[in-house]
Amino acid sequence: MGLINNIKSYSETLNLSAEKKGLFNSFLQNGFPTIKDEDWKYTSLKKIIAEDFSIEKTGNDIDTSAISKHSLSFKNQLIFVDGKLISSPQIKGVTISAYADFESRNNDAIMNLNASLCNNGFNISVAKNTVVEQVIEILFFTTTENNFSQYRNQIIVGENSEIKFVEKIQNLNNSTAFVNYFTQINCDKNTNVEFNKIQNNTSNSILIDNVDIYQKDNSTCDVNTLIFGGNFTRNNLNFEQNGNNCESNMNGVSVLDDNQFADNHTFVDHKSAHCRSNEMYKGVYLGKSKGVFNGKIMVRPDAQKIDAFQSNNNLLLSEDSTIDSKPQLEIYADDVKCSHGCTIGQLDEDALFYMRSRGIGVEEAKAVLTYAFASEAIDNISVSEVRLVAQKLLADKLNVDLDFSL
C-alpha cells in the first residue's frame, strides 16, 4: 500500500493523454523526493507517503456556517469543496473559470505529479488596465477523510492591472488531509499583485505548496506566507524576473509548536536589470517543532544594478525545537547589491529584564517580545484585514493580550 500505489490505481481510472502519461511516468520514475535530494535534505516525506490515502475523493456539501467560520468575509470569494468550485465572484475585467489545463516549466517530481493527474483548480485572467480594489478570497475545503488532493491554478494579470488575493486551505474533518498545490502567476508589464497565504490548517494537515511567479517590466509582486497551523508544510516560492524594474517581495511568519513542521524554500531568479527583491522570513519555534528555510537568490549576468535583500530570523524558544536555515546566493553580475542575514537565537535577556522591571510577568514578557519579533513581517502586509487576522492568530498562538486600537 502507501500513497504511490493508491495514486497509480487512481491514474488508471483516468483517461490520460500521451503527454500526461509521459509526465506521470517521469513522476513514477523518481517517486517522491527523499532527503538525498539537496532540496529536501531537511524535509522528509517518508512517513507521510507510507500512509494510506484515498485520492481525490469527494464528500458532502458543506453549510455556509463552516465557510464563514474560516473566511475573512471578503465580498469576492472563490470557494472549492473537495476539488469542486462551488462559488465564484463576478468582477468587472476579471474572468474566472474552473480548472483549465496549462503548461508550466516547473518539472520536479511533485510538479509532474500535479501536472499529470490534477484536474481541479482555477484560472483567473485579469484584463489590461484593470484595478481590482476588492480583495479576492480563495478558500479550499476538504471534507473527506484521509484524502490526497491536488490543485492547479493559474493567474494571468494583464498590463497596468492590480489585484490582491488571500488564500486559505482548510481541512474540515479530524483526519489527515494531504494537498499538493500549484499556482502559477504571470504578471505582465506595470502590474501590481499581492498574494497572501494564511496557512492555519488543522494539526494533522499536510501541504506541499508551489507558487511560480513570472514577472515582466515594472511589475511588483508580493507574496506573504503566514504559517500558524498544519502538521507538515512545504512552501516552494519561485520568482522569475523577466523584465527591467521588477520588484519581488516576500514576507513570511512561521509560529510553530508541538510537532509541527514547516519548510520555506524560496528562489528569486534575477534575470533582468534594475530589479529588486526583498525577503523577510521570521520563525518562532516552540515545543518539538521544526523549521527549514532555504533562500536562493540567483543573479544572472544581465541582471545589473539589482538590489536583493534577504533575511531569515529565528527564535528557538524550547530545548527540543530546531531550525535549519540556508541562504544560497549565486551572483554572476558585477554591479549589484546583494545582502542577506540569518539569525538563530533566544529572546534578549536585557529586554526581558527591562519588561519585568516594569511589572510585566516573565511569561507575558516572553510572549510580548516574541510577538514583537514576529509582527515585523506582518506589518509589511498591505491588506489591513489580513494584517489584523495575522496579528490575532499570532497573539492567540503566543497567548498575548494586545489591544491593537491604541
Partner 1 sequence: MLKINNLKAGIEDNQILKGINLEIKAGEVHAIMGPNGSGKSTLASVIAGKEEYEVEGGEIDFEGQDLLDLTPEERAHKGVFLSFQYPVEIPGISVSNFIKTSINERRKAAGLESMPAKNLLKMLKEKMELLSIDKGYLSRNMNEGFSGGEKKRNEIFQMAMLEPKLAILDETDSGLDIDALRIVANGVNKLRTKDNATVVITHYQRLLDYIVPDFVHVLYKGRIVKSGGKELALELEQKGYDWITKEADKQWA
Q: Does 39 engage in binding with partner 1 (CB under 8 A)?
A: no
Q: Which three cell numbers stand for residue 320?
A: 527540543
Q: For residue 136, what are the contacts with CB-CB under 8 A and spacing of at least 6?
A: 74, 76, 77, 78, 89, 91, 94, 124, 163, 164, 165, 166
Q: Does 361 engage in binding with partner 1 (CB under 8 A)?
A: yes
With contacts defined by CB under 8 A, name the span among 75-83, 94-102, 149-157, 356-364 that binds partner 1.
356-364
Q: Does 264 engage in binding with partner 1 (CB under 8 A)?
A: no
Residues 291-350 contacting partner 1, CB under 8 A: 348-350
For partner 1, which residue of 159, 375, 381, 390 counts as binding (CB under 8 A)? 375
Burial 33-69 (b: 16+ CB within 10 A, else e): beeeeeebebbebeebbeeebebbbeeeeeeeeebee
Cα distance between residue 271 and residue 405, in whole Å: 43
Q: For residue 155, what are the contacts with CB-CB under 8 A and spacing of at least 6?
A: 123, 124, 125, 126, 163, 165, 183, 184, 185, 186, 193
- Number of residues engaging partner 1 in binding (CB under 8 A): 26
| Of 101 and 376, CB closest to partner 1 | 376
Q: Considering the complex, what minimum distance in angstroms separates the CB of residue 264 from partner 1?
A: 21
For partner 1, which residue of 35, 50, 131, 372 counts as binding (CB under 8 A)? 372
Question: Length of the chain, please?
Answer: 406
Q: Considering the complex, what minimum distance in angstroms separates the CB of residue 376 from partner 1?
A: 6
With contacts defined by CB under 8 A, name the span among 156-164, 270-278, 317-325, 351-359 that binds partner 1.
351-359
Q: Does 281 engage in binding with partner 1 (CB under 8 A)?
A: no
Q: Considering the complex, what minimum distance in angstroms separates the CB of residue 347 from partner 1?
A: 11
Q: How does strand 76-81 pair with strand 84-87?
A: antiparallel
Q: Does 351 engage in binding with partner 1 (CB under 8 A)?
A: yes
| Of 22 and 361, CB closest to partner 1 | 361
- Count of other CB atoms within 10 angstroms of residue 8: 12
Q: Are 84 and 120 in contact (CB under 8 A)?
A: yes
For partner 1, which residue of 62, 376, 382, 385 counts as binding (CB under 8 A)? 376
State the amino acid at position 317 in one-letter form.
L
Q: Which residues bind partner 1 (CB under 8 A)?
A: 348-351, 353-362, 364-365, 368-369, 371-373, 375-376, 402-403, 406
